[in-house]
Amino acid sequence: MTEDLFVNLMDSVREGGAILRGEMPASRTFTILPPDIKGIRNGFGLTQEQFAALLGISVRTLRNWE
């Protein structure tokens, strides 16, 4: 690794630490919305039992998600 690459890497590590400590804002953030499970299931025209079986989960888990 060259000296320049190492300096850049260390600068990035320090910046990441400052962001985690709340000393500076992140340059970008992402918002991930939860999926509409019921809407997806209805879009395929499946019952809860059918959709749960397709995903390999219990109907109870699917109901918790919905």
pLDDT tens per residue across span 11-51: 999 999 999 999 999 999 999 999 999 999 999 999 999 99
Cα–Cα distances (Å) from 21 to 9, 12, 27, 41, 65, in that order, read 18, 14, 15, 41, 33
Quote the pTM value.
0.57
Question: What pLDDT, on the 0 to 100 scale, is given for residue 35?
Answer: 95
Question: What pLDDT, on the 0 to 100 scale, is given for residue 3?
Answer: 94
First to last CA, the chain: 50
Residue 58: pLDDT above 90? Answer: yes
